[in-house]
A = this chain, B = another copy of it.
Amino acid sequence: MPRDIIFGEIDGITEGHCFNDRKEMMPSSFHRNWAAGIDGNGTEGASAIVLSGGYEDDEDHGDEIIYTGAGGNDPSTGKQVEDQSWNNKGNAGLLKSMDEGLPVRVIRGHQHKSEYSPGKGYKYAGLFAVTDAWLEDGISGFKICRFRLLYCGQNDGRKTPEAIELSYARKNKERKEGVVVRIVRDTEISRNIKKAYEGRCQVCGITIKTKSGNYSEGAHIRPLGRPHDGDDATDNLLSLCPNHHVMLDKGAISISNDFELLGEVDGSLTIQEKHNINLTNLEYHRKIHGYD
């Protein structure tokens, strides 16, 4: 019987940890499938991948990896013999992880040829975020599913997604006056809220349909960070479509303590019975945006 999928770090196994073989990753659910590169599925997401040289198209830049999805290859020769598909279980899992902001454990195998690969066994490279997914013509001529993964762990010495984005911005002279307008971040708590509402917006009820399911964003009522210092907590979070997220953040809408919408949208917030909302934070939002 397969073990439950676990996302994020697993106790006792830190960055740089070496496994002698694939089977050693199974008891802890670190990677539950010794025969596949991707551990996961389209319903739950993917929790771990192994880079093992199986696909000639993988690119490894250390804190940024361009990963080739699963499927389409002849099991005996490993050669690509048909197009890959988003319906493949592993590919669907990585898409889900992208849309839900789930972290993926990356493991490099000794067969993988890069300056970061271990000489033997399998080395844990840390948590990565899936930030992009697209189709491409592979070296073989068949279509391959491609994923861009960026390091998102806690090692301060490594490049963050922001630093990687920034280095692009700085390399490209035309972008030199580029200003960050929005950074949308996801945490386990915001993922839970979005899941509870099935990716629907609590203001308008719509969802953004993507290849891998319903997309919404976790919106903080009292903003995080200086000077507001709101909590990343369920009672301070709403599931919103990107449009209403922007409107809430900019104060184009606010919410009364009876959950009536104020400002540019009429009606009231949809709230599930078990979703407690912090009224003091609603009050804070109204106050800073001049609704009182």
Residues of A within 8 A of B (CB): 8-9, 59, 61, 64, 66, 86, 99, 101-103, 127, 129, 131-132, 134-136, 143, 146, 148, 150, 152, 154, 156, 160-163, 165-166, 168-170, 172, 174-189, 206, 208-211, 215, 217, 223-228, 231-233, 241-243, 245-247, 250-252, 264, 287-290
Contacts and interface: CB of A to CB of B under 8 A. Distances in A.
B134 A162 contact: no
Given A154-B170, A168-B226, A210-B250, 17 more contacts: A64-B226, A134-B228, A135-B289, A156-B170, A162-B165, A165-B183, A172-B232, A174-B231, A178-B185, A179-B186, A180-B184, A180-B186, A182-B183, A208-B252, A211-B252, A215-B246, A243-B243
A185 B177 contact: no
A170 B211 CA distance: 32
Contacts of A209: 252, 264
Given A215-B246, A227-B148, A232-B174, A183 B162 contact: yes
A127 B162 contact: no
Nearest to A132: B223
Tell me what chain A mostly uses at the interface: helix, strand, loop, or mixed.
mixed
Nearest to A137: B287
A184 B185 contact: no
A231 B168 CA distance: 12
Given A152-B180, A181-B184, A252-B211, A168 B224 contact: yes
B211 A250 contact: yes
A280 B175 CA distance: 22
A278 B192 CA distance: 40
Contact of A246 (B185, B223, B242): B242
Contacts of A250: 99, 208, 210-211, 215
Contacts of A135: 287-290
A103 B252 CA distance: 22
Contacts of A178: 152, 185-187, 232
21 contacts: A59-B227, A66-B226, A66-B227, A103-B179, A134-B228, A134-B251, A135-B289, A136-B288, A152-B179, A162-B180, A165-B185, A175-B232, A178-B187, A180-B186, A181-B217, A182-B182, A182-B184, A206-B243, A208-B243, A208-B247, A242-B246
A185 B183 CA distance: 9
B161 A180 contact: yes
